[in-house]
Amino acid sequence: MAVRKFKPTTPGQRHKIIGAFEEITAAVPEKSLVSGKRSTGGRNNTGKMTMRYRGGGHKRKFRMIDFKRNKDGVPATVKSIEYDPNRSARIALLYYADGEKCYIIAPNGLQVGAVLMSGENAAPELGNTLPLKSIPIGTVVHNIELRPGQGAALVRSAGNFAQIVSREENYCVIKLPSGEVRRILGTCRATVGTVGNSDHALESSGKAGRTRWFGRRPHNRGVVMNPVDHPMGGGEGRASGGHPRSRKGLYSKGLKTRAPKKQSSKYIIERRKK
């Protein structure tokens, strides 16, 4: 994995840094695992704009990713590593021994031709999915379930990983990328390894137009609006608008928004670093 920098032949090339796509082995996705994806432009079912600064962007097709990995005991061969426009990580196409095909998030270091397994009896090796209770302490994992059988919910973006710190009865203690340490049921599944495309964090669009291709429109700050448009608007000159808050008046940047009696708080041992 690497990134490409460009010679400053144009203003847009000067600061442009993009991925090298070296690990990608297929240009066209598997047709049976692809479906159409509609763009909302930030509008709801009545056509009202409910999310600002969205719209446009390149057409995308949705790749159906298998986050459950519940075909236990059936070996799967990695056929290709592909690009996915819907996520920062790369995806891998698996061919199971019984003929089924599926996409998974590609771990760092996964090669075409590798054989992967899932289930309680699988070896804790790169790309294999097993219950947390079957993975040795200290192992680096990703694609972690929060509830057994629900499918991976945590640690799915490029370059991320979590670590199994210890075990407490039926639970495993996991240190997440945010720094949060929490208990997760030992029967929940996780995939061994780090999510691939770790150089994604080094990328730079280089120009505003490339951001528009992602479907993001220009974003203007509340401070530069009028009082009728935003609580932080108004004032003479560059007078700022008091305590940072949202357009609806909710305080931000420091206000704790987590529900104080949230059921899952009892599983959190240490909160994330601020």
Note the pLDDT tens digit of each residue in 119-159.
999 999 999 999 999 999 999 999 999 999 999 999 999 99
Q: Tell me what pLDDT residue 255 has.
A: 83
What's the whole-number mean pLDDT along residues 83-90?
96
- C-alpha 61: how far from chain center: 17
Total number of residues shown for the chain? 274
Which domains are delineated in the chain? 22-201 (2.40.50.140)
- pLDDT level of residue 170 (50, 70, 90 thresholds): very high
89 touches 23 (CB < 8 A): no
- In angstroms, the Cα distances linking 141 to 55, 120, 129, 262, 263 are 35, 15, 9, 26, 25
Q: Tell me what pLDDT residue 210 has.
A: 93
Q: Tell me what pLDDT residue 236 has.
A: 87
- pLDDT level of residue 1 (50, 70, 90 thresholds): low
Secondary structure of residue 257 in the 3-state scheme = coil
Mean pLDDT of the chain: 94
Pairing status of strand 34-36 against strand 61-63: antiparallel
| Phi and psi, residue 3, nearest 5° | -120, 160
- pLDDT level of residue 179 (50, 70, 90 thresholds): very high
Span of 94-98, 99-103, 249-253 with lowest mean pLDDT: 249-253
43 touches 52 (CB < 8 A): no
